[in-house]
Amino acid sequence: MYIKKTPDWSLKESDATPEPIYRQRREILKKLGITLVGMPLATHADAGLFDSLLGSEPKQTPDKRRALASQSSAYSNRSLSLTPEEKILKYNNFYEFGTDKSDPAARSGNFKTNPWTVEVGGLVHNPLTLGYEDIFSKFPLEERIYRLRCVEAWSMNVPWIGFPLASLLRLANPMGKAKYVAFQTLYDPKQMPGQASRRLGGGIDYPYVEGLRLDEAMHPLTLIAVGLYGKNLAPQNGAPIRLVVPWKYGFKSIKSIVRIQLTDRQPPTTWNLLAPHEYGFYANVNPTVDHPRWSQASERFIGEGSLFSSRRQPTLMFNGYADQVARLYKGMDLRKQF
């Protein structure tokens, strides 16, 4: 029922920006005879090369990111116009590195993501630990182009690479009494200046924690991301492993995860602890439920061009994924359970 050739949550043709270039890159690969064994659909791995072939400016920031092969996915919104990689890398919320949008990129350059371990435990029959290489090799990687909607009313379209959280949870084999999944970010104040200073870290009590109901966590759209634009994640985007829940406000998509615990109780979540009347546990994108301090009816889409020329567009119910996820919330008052 979910698998559709043309996802019905896709954007209109008129929204096109860099998508043509993205497709062109795939065409060039084909013409060059690079048939991409193990890389069935071109990733963005060699953006610099393609940019030069296309005669446009190479926009690569120097980094140590490596190419990741991935399959395309039926859950990808392939018609979305992509936010340029450079903006996804430079305009971030990751308060562990500071509260300005430019802080995460500026302060996370030496963040150590290898070695890394993610513990999966709690109410599971098969507790397990993923090491750094497991993160990239244990599950087939898919590319998923998703909308990302921050509660602050800006949005991006991001080509993530990752695997369904459901695949990992199935491997851990949740017990019948497990009802929620709790996530935790690394706690390391030596590496994360926002954890060492309340001022830099925005007054948050670290580690950053998040949670989902088990049915939300098992939903096929819920992704564990390990890369974007064809490469592994940069630290500022939550390297080496983060959550992406496309129908919820961005703060649910917790970065740099070290612990995943199955529980029978709704777990505490960072923004809800900080301001419970402003940020709920559910945090489903909803144009009809405003933030107490601003409207959620529209959003500033960050695409091509300058950050300030970005265009306003209407917010979509469940961020455009209503057909896929609305059933999860049947009978709930979304005003009260925001």
Ligand X SMILES: Nc1nc2c(c(=O)[nH]1)N[C@H]1C(S)=C(S)[C@@H](COP(=O)(O)O)O[C@H]1N2
Q: Which parts of this chain interact with Mo ion (CB under 5 A)?
A: 93, 150, 250-251
Q: Residue 95 touches which of Mo ion, ligand X, none (CB < 5 to 8 A by kind)?
A: ligand X
Is 251 a binding residue for ligand X by CB under 6 A? The answer is yes
Copy the structure tokens of residue 107: 């302060």
| Cβ atoms of 140 and 241 closer than 8 Å | no
Is 184 a binding residue for ligand X by CB under 6 A? The answer is no
Q: Would you call 79 exposed, middle or buried from its count of C-beta atoms within 10 A (0-12, 13-18, 19+)?
A: middle
* Position closest to ligand X via CB: 250
Is 28 part of any known ligand binding site?
A: no
111-130 binders of ligand X (CB under 6 A):
none
53-112 binders of ligand X (CB under 6 A):
92-96
CA–CA separation, 41 vs 39, rounded Å? 6
Pair type for strands 117-122 and 257-263:
parallel
Nearer to ligand X, 211 or 250 (CB): 250
Copy the structure tokens of residue 15: 């929204």
| Cβ atoms of 274 and 241 closer than 8 Å | no
Nearest distance from C-beta of residue 237 to ligand X, angstroms = 4
Nearer to ligand X, 43 or 269 (CB): 269
Identify the bridge partners of residue 16 per DSSP, sorted by sequence position: none
Is 150 a binding residue for ligand X by CB under 6 A? The answer is yes
CA–CA separation, 320 vs 338, rounded Å? 17
Nearer to ligand X, 150 or 325 (CB): 150
* 274: phi then psi, degrees, rounded to nearest 5: -75, -40
Nearer to Mo ion, 178 or 239 (CB): 239
Nearer to Mo ion, 101 or 179 (CB): 101
Nearer to ligand X, 174 or 279 (CB): 279
Nearest distance from C-beta of residue 102 to ligand X, angstroms = 11
Is 254 a binding residue for ligand X by CB under 6 A? The answer is yes
Nearest distance from C-beta of residue 94 to ligand X, angstroms = 5
Nearest distance from C-beta of residue 234 to ligand X, angstroms = 9
Peptide bond into 240 cis (omega under 30): yes
Q: Mapping DSSP to helix (H, G, I), strand (E, B) and coil, where does residue 184 land?
A: strand
Nearest distance from C-beta of residue 285 to Mo ion, angstroms = 11
CA–CA separation, 287 vs 314, rounded Å? 8
Residues 234-273 as b/e (b if ≥16 CB within 10 A, e otherwise) read bbbbbbbbbbbbbbbbbbbbbbbbbbbbbbeeebebbbbe
Is 95 part of any known ligand binding site?
A: yes
Nearest distance from C-beta of residue 8 to ligand X, angstroms = 25
Is 61 part of any known ligand binding site?
A: no
Copy the structure tokens of residue 11: 């954007």
Is 284 a binding residue for ligand X by CB under 6 A? The answer is no
Residues within the interface to ligand X (CB under 6 A): 92-96, 148, 150, 185, 208, 237-238, 250-251, 253-256
| Residues of the binding site for Mo-molybdopterin | 92, 95-96, 150, 185, 237, 242, 253-255
